[in-house]
Amino acid sequence: MVRSPEKFDLQHDNLSVIQGDFSNGDAIQETVRGTTYVICTGGGPHNSRQYEKGFMERFVREQLWPAVLANAESSPPKALLFQAGALSKVSKLPNFSQLLIAPLMGLRPMALDNDAVMRFIDSNPLKGTKVIVTRPGALINGKGGSDLRASCMANTIPLTYADLGRFNVQTVSDEEFGMKYPYVCLKNGF
């Protein structure tokens, strides 16, 4: 489910793109019902003044998790992928990047919000559903064409939305994928 389907240029046989928004719980529940995989790449504005405090954590806690749990007994998704940011972490303690880099880039509220999402996910497991939280870093428009990989180190090179979309679809459907909080980077780069 995306707000602007015209911006989403990824085709896959097993991918359905539906227009919707974060506030419509019924639409989210309908979208998740009967799915094999759920990918959530939503986020707020990259501007600390415009970012609504707790926006994503509320969405995950009040909309996404209940939608997945509603299907847990009959047909839970095999996997759910949530896309956070490279400045996000599970720990409550701020790290160097959150103290210095995030404020300079206007991303501190988003990073703290994604931290809260990661802690929520960590403390609320979904029975029968593998959860992956990717942390790609900077994203740019473009055709893409680069292969990406999961990493245990943060990425410093911007990735295209197109490449990240392909990576997310491949990762969520890879039953052998074992990382829970991977960073995402170029396959042949840092």
pLDDT digits (tens, 9 = 90+) for 120-142: 999 999 988 999 999 998 889 88
Q: How far apart, in Å, are the Cα atoms of 47 and each of 50, 82, 90, 102, 109? A: 5, 21, 22, 10, 8
pLDDT digits (tens, 9 = 90+) for 144-187: 899 999 999 888 899 998 899 899 999 999 999 989 999 999 99
Domains and CATH numbers, the chain: 5-186 (3.40.50.720)
